[in-house]
Amino acid sequence: MILFGLFMLDLLRVPALSREYRPNIKMPFARGSYLNAFGLGAAFGTGWTPCVGPILGSILTLAAASSTAGSGALLLGVFSFGLSIPFLLVALALGSAEKTIARMTPYLGIVSRGSGILLIFLGAFLITDSMGLFIGYAYQALSFIHYDALFNYF
């Protein structure tokens, strides 16, 4: 995690992580067809499996261990809803998304450096086995969200 943070801060160069590959694939069906949408969704889902898999596995484990099928379904529903929000927002704003992304591009360096610093801190917390301390501080800092109320549902 610390190495990825250093990479995001441009203090560590790894050419394999900076490479981009864009295959030129001709879609066999008409643009906008359901089959093309299915193929794109399947490819996207396959690419996201390493990112979503561990979290989904944890939620499935919690759902299986929950006291009722309803609470397990609620966990999976909230996860699915949370996962879909960014995609729905981009789909709704697709016309203006390109303009917004172009306006945000100058700030991507700041976001990348901030993320790199966060990764380094999280890595240090993991190495020193003080992640609980970080979670405690984050819980206090985000207390306005009222996490306690969520425990009433589980």
Domain range summary for the chain, segments of one domain joined by +: 2-19+54-153
Which of 121, 92, 112 minimizes the C-alpha distance to 11?
112
When pLDDT is averaged across residues 11-24 and rounded to a whole number, the result is 79
Helix and strand totals (H; E) in the chain: 7, 0
pLDDT value at residue 125: 87
Lookup: tokens for 105: 């591009």
The dihedral of CA 55, 109, 101, 41: what is its sign? Answer: negative
pLDDT in tens, 55-96: 777 778 888 887 788 888 888 888 888 888 877 887 777 767
Q: CA-CA distance, 83 to 72, in Å (whole number)? A: 17
pLDDT at 146 over 70: yes
pTM of the shown model: 0.51
How far is it between the farthest Cα atoms of the chain?
A: 55
Quick one: CA dihedral 125, 131, 137, 142, positive or negative?
A: positive
Phi, then psi, of 11 in degrees rounded to 5: -95, -10
